[in-house]
Amino acid sequence: MPSHLGHEWGTPEARTTTTCTTINPMPSGLKRYQTSGHDHFITFTCFHQHPYLDNDIARMVFEQTLETIRHRHDLLLYAYVIMPNHVHMLLSEPKHTLLADTLRALKTETSKKLKGTRQQFWQRRYYDRNIITQKEFVEKLRYIHRNPVEEELVTNPEDWPWSSYRHWLTGERGRVEIESHWTCDAREKAGVPHSSR
C-alpha cells in the first residue's frame, strides 16, 4: 500500500485552503509518462466547458461508470470530484493496460450514456500530471476536495456529495470505491491482502 495513504488528510495542515483556478485549454505537444508506476492527477472537461455535469442524474451515471471502469481496469482511485463542467481524479496506473486506454474507456462510456443530441460530450484532450512525492499527493487530494468550495458551489467540502471527501473524512462508502486508510483497515479486518502497489 502506498505510504501516502496515512492519516495526513485529517491533520490541520492538510486542511488548509488550496486556491483553484479556471480550467485552461490543454497545450499541444505534451509527452505523457503513463508506465512509470506513478500515481496521476487527471482533469478532463466537458466539450467547450459546457456544464453537462450540472445535474444529479449525469453525476450518478458518471460515478457508476467510473466504478465499473475502476474495477474492470484494476486501478486504485484515491480521490475524485465531479464539477459542473469538469472532473478531477487522483489515481494509480491500471495494472494491465495503459492509463490512456482506461481514460478513453471512461470518457467513451460516459459519453454514450450522457451525450444525447449534443455534438460531443467531452473535450478530446485531458490534463495528466505524474505525482511523485507524498507532498504532491496530499496537495492534489486537498485541491480535489476543496474545488467545490473554491468554485462557491458549497460552503464546506462535506456539503458536496459528488466527491470522495466524505469517504476520506468518515470512511463513508459511496458508489465508487476509494483507496484510503479506511479501505485498507477494512481489508485488514476482513483478512483481505493489501494491494501490492
Q: Digits of tens for pLDDT over the chain (197 positions)?
A: 454 454 444 433 333 333 333 444 445 444 444 456 789 999 999 999 999 999 999 999 999 999 999 999 999 999 999 999 999 999 999 998 999 999 999 999 999 999 999 999 999 999 999 999 999 999 999 999 999 999 999 999 999 999 999 999 999 999 999 999 998 888 888 887 765 55
The pairing of strands 39-45 and 77-82 is unpaired
CB 81, CB 88: distance < 8 Å: yes
CATH architecture of the domain with range 34-190: 2-Layer Sandwich (3.30)
Domain ranges of the chain: 34-190
Distance CA 47, CA 85 (A): 8
pTM of the model: 0.81
Give the angle subtended at the CA of 50 by the CAs of 120 and 131, to the nearest 5°: 90
Distance CA 82, CA 26 (A): 19
Q: Which residues partner with 127 through β-bridges?
A: 43
- Would you tell me how many other CB atoms lie within 10 Å of the CB of residue 170? 10
Which secondary structure element, helix H or strand E, spans residue 59, and what is its range? helix 56-72
Here the cell at position 91 is: 489515481
Distance CA 128, CA 77 (A): 15
CB 127, CB 26: distance < 8 Å: yes
